[in-house]
Amino acid sequence: MIGVNEEQAIAILTAYLSPKKGRQVGVELGIGDDAAILKTPGISQVISVDAAIEGVHYRRPWLSPDELAGRAFHAAASDLAAMGARPTAALTQITLPRDISRSQFQRLAQGQAFAAAELACPIVGGNITGGRSLDIVTTVVGQPWTKQGALLRRTSLRAGDELWLIGCVGLARAGLFLLQKDSLVDERPQTFRRINSKVGAASEKKAALEKLLRESRLSKKRRLSALRQLALLSFRCPQALVRSGRSLVGRARAAMDVSDGLAKDLHHLGRGSDCCVVVDATSLRRAAAPSAFADLCEAEGWEFDDMILQGGEDFCLLASGPRSRRPRGAQVIGHIEKGRGVQWNDAGQASALPLGGFHHVSF
Amino acid sequence: MIGVNEEQAIAILTAYLSPKKGRQVGVELGIGDDAAILKTPGISQVISVDAAIEGVHYRRPWLSPDELAGRAFHAAASDLAAMGARPTAALTQITLPRDISRSQFQRLAQGQAFAAAELACPIVGGNITGGRSLDIVTTVVGQPWTKQGALLRRTSLRAGDELWLIGCVGLARAGLFLLQKDSLVDERPQTFRRINSKVGAASEKKAALEKLLRESRLSKKRRLSALRQLALLSFRCPQALVRSGRSLVGRARAAMDVSDGLAKDLHHLGRGSDCCVVVDATSLRRAAAPSAFADLCEAEGWEFDDMILQGGEDFCLLASGPRSRRPRGAQVIGHIEKGRGVQWNDAGQASALPLGGFHHVSF
């Protein structure tokens, strides 16, 4: 195998990431100097960092290099989505082991370029070093969508507000479990998943699968097969819900993304406020995933509630706000009351939701 | 050994890094939400990222955890110094292996807090994940010092300008070599260097050593011993030359920090311009390190020129500008001519300086 050194890697990245069509909005100076220079609009800027660490967040046989790049980018951008912010610039630190080939790195750079274009968030700088594992650390910078500069924080709960879920939760965890099951027999942890499809084809595939799953006359076998594919795609190619985040601005009083697991993040949402987050189990089960997800859980021997409550890397949004301001696409999964902590209401039975959900499957 | 998990690590960091005295300049919302919010002054912002990777940039026996934290922070801030920018906020991604103890992590957090205070650059967010090596990725954000928003780029060379060096170069490489020599017999790569002194005592120690080395009546043995200590400190506790960077604004036409090695970075300075960077070897040798450095090189069997030309992690600044505007502390090491590349003038002999310097010691 012919590896790629740091100088070559920088040249590849620069080639893929340099802007082709004039200057980028919000960027005064991109890749190439000691630091990037951002134009600032005179309002607040939002900044966050996230990591994709090999052996912790992924293993090579689970992803292609471009999927890894896209996943790392969207995971970081999801934090800005949750702030109701518009991503404007990103920086990436890549730790590059010697056994990464030039063509693998090219595919990774293509994945970064695709995600940057998809999110209209140019990569303006970064750093490449050697290392033992292929890790990507992404810093994202954003701005409020409006000149008024409104942003969404986690902690502004108010009793009487609704609790909203935007997007699915649980599918990515299902995808992870399917990959872990497969990788028990995997012998080559250094080998990336090989794919022939073009970079960034996941969105179309996802849409096609979701459409297929809405068909009522699907056989159970085909339904399960479609769900498995959807679960794998949810893990491999998550999407930061930037547009949904925008739709929450001026409507939600509080918002955050789910990345640590829904149960844990429900606790994060309430933390520090004098409010209790009340989850309606029936509504959550209906909202969290396609209806056939229960069949997949049954077929695989997973606890349905556990998959949802532990689910994290779908990067759905959790928000709360007044009923009159609920945006399209937000599904009601509970409400806010005076009090503390998180309450789980299941068929008339109320109990405190533990931090880790009711069951904890460790892996 | 009792390790530290991610939740505990976040609690420790939050305790050490939360602002004690009112709100921080330039920070609207710090640690705790999905992202940090920065106040922007209506002028440009500068942003950069840098990494300290275990096994690549350092080994544990070489540093104490607070030295590691300080080193990672200053290395990142050095890029802002080189832009003539004022650091205003930082984010840190920490990859945390299981064998890091709670007290080691506390010391690391103390080191981060000290560096943040030293550079007046609060840590406003970050991310902690598990992983195989203890890696710190630091994103730094800064602003121009003046309302006019002037910043220093690499590429604005002009024939007739002087070439300036600010700070030393070569000492950190000497420190690295001393540590590598010692670590050949080191059997415990997982063990941090133990120190009893308080966090951040390095600056005073450095100043004391430099004062000692200026004494003319020092015995050779004591001079070498002081130089060894200074070299180790230069590697372990480098300082981002933020104030020097500020002094270059309005004076230098181009500036960058030296982090890849002086020879390589001299090439980076010229790249893309129609100018040739001409280095005067005699001036450089005099400017790069204390005069006794040649003695240390001789005693250790290192090539003096090689130590300087390959030296990188002292984070000195390289700049060029008109003679009439040379700031205090900038030492002339050459000039700019029409042409291309980097020229090495040694005792009347001119030759092209290779990218890697004249000798390349690999390690």
Question: Cβ B257–A34 below 8 Å, yes or no?
Answer: yes
Residues from chain A contacting residue B10 (CB–CB below 8 Å): none
pLDDT of residue B194: 83
Residues from chain A contacting residue B133 (CB–CB below 8 Å): 131-133
Domain B162-193+202-352 belongs to what architecture? Alpha-Beta Complex (3.90)
How far is the first Cα of chain A from the last one, in angstroms, to the nearest whole number? 32
Gap between the Cα atoms of B83 and A107, Å rounded: 32
Residues from chain B contacting residue A316 (CB–CB below 8 Å): none
* Mutation site for A-interface testing, chosen from B31, B47, B71, B265 by largest number of A Cβ within 10 Å: B47
CB of B323 closer than 8 Å to CB of B258: no
pLDDT of residue B291: 86
Asked whether residue B271 carries a pLDDT value surpassing 50, the answer given is: yes
Q: Which two tokens stand for residue B162?
A: 């002087």
Residue of B nearest to A271 (CA): B32
CB of A77 closer than 8 Å to CB of A119: yes
pLDDT of residue A260: 87
pLDDT of residue B22: 44
CATH T-level topology, domain B6-144: 60s Ribosomal Protein L30; Chain: A; (3.30.1330)
Place of tokens 């502390």: B329
Mean of all residue pLDDT scores within chain B = 88
pLDDT of residue B362: 35
**pLDDT-derived band of residue A1, with 50, 70 and 90 as boundaries?**
very low
Residue of A nearest to B35 (CA): A48
How far off is chain B from A298, nearest CA to CA, in Å? Answer: 31
Question: Cβ A49–B151 below 8 Å, yes or no?
Answer: no
CB atoms within 10 A of CB A315: 25
User: Average pLDDT of A193-221?
Assistant: 87
Question: Cβ B126–A154 below 8 Å, yes or no?
Answer: no
Asked whether residue A346 carries a pLDDT value surpassing 50, the answer given is: yes
Residues from chain A contacting residue B77 (CB–CB below 8 Å): none
How far off is chain A from B141, nearest CA to CA, in Å? Answer: 9
Asked if A6-144 and A162-352 have one fold, the answer is: no
User: Measuring CA to CA, which residue among B220, B225, B202, B238 is closest to residue B311?
Assistant: B238
Q: Which CATH number fits domain A162-352: 3.40.50.10860, 3.40.50.2300, 3.90.650.10, 3.20.20.80?
A: 3.90.650.10
Question: Cβ A34–B139 below 8 Å, yes or no?
Answer: no
The DSSP output letter for A187 is: -
Residues from chain B contacting residue A44 (CB–CB below 8 Å): 28, 37-40
Question: CB-CB: which of A29, A79, A89 is closest to B34?
Answer: A79
Rounded to 5°, angle at Cα A287 from A207 and A265: 105
Asked whether residue B175 carries a pLDDT value surpassing 80, the answer given is: yes
The model scores a pTM over 0.95: no
Residues from chain A contacting residue B155 (CB–CB below 8 Å): 33
Domain map of chain A by residue range?
6-144, 162-352
Asked whether residue B176 carries a pLDDT value surpassing 50, the answer given is: yes
User: Average pLDDT of B153-179?
Assistant: 94
User: Average pLDDT of B276-284?
Assistant: 97
ipTM confidence score: 0.88
| SS3 at position B124 | strand
Question: Cβ A48–B34 below 8 Å, yes or no?
Answer: yes
Least confident of A64-68, A239-243, A312-316, B23-27: B23-27
